[in-house]
């Protein structure tokens, strides 16, 4: 019984975490399809860009999740998310 619950709970938890990252990106007006993956990497590697996009107040773990989300869905990725579509 425990294993059956884990099979259903683990995807739910990761889905909730993904939704929170998507919501955070939207709140910060960061849309994955507005930049290529190289540009998103540059944003997260520069202190100036981090402060410009107001990312300095986020924890390192949250920044990493946000960075991964934005890069995975960048305009040059296999699954781009373009605003307005």
Dihedral of the alpha carbons of 41, 46, 47, 53, in degrees to the nearest 10: -50
- Who wins on pLDDT, 19 or 45? 45
Sign of the four-CA dihedral 39, 36, 23, 16: negative
pLDDT given for residue 15 in this prediction = 47
pTM of the predicted model as reported, rounded to 2 decimal places: 0.74
pLDDT tens profile 29-69: 999 989 999 999 999 999 999 999 999 999 999 999 999 99
Q: How confident is the model at residue 17 (pLDDT cuts 50, 70, 90)?
A: low
Written as six digits, the tokens of 74 are 């960048």
């Amino acid at each position: 019984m425990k294993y059956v619950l884990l099979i259903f709970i683990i995807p739910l938890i990761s889905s909730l975490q993904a939704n929170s990252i998507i919501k955070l990106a939207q709140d910060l007006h960061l849309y994955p399809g507005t930049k290529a993956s190289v540009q998103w990497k540059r944003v997260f590697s520069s202190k100036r860009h981090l402060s410009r996009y107001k990312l300095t107040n986020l924890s390192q773990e949250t920044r990493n999740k946000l960075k991964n989300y934005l890069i995975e869905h960048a305009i040059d990725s296999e699954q781009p998310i373009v605003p307005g579509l």
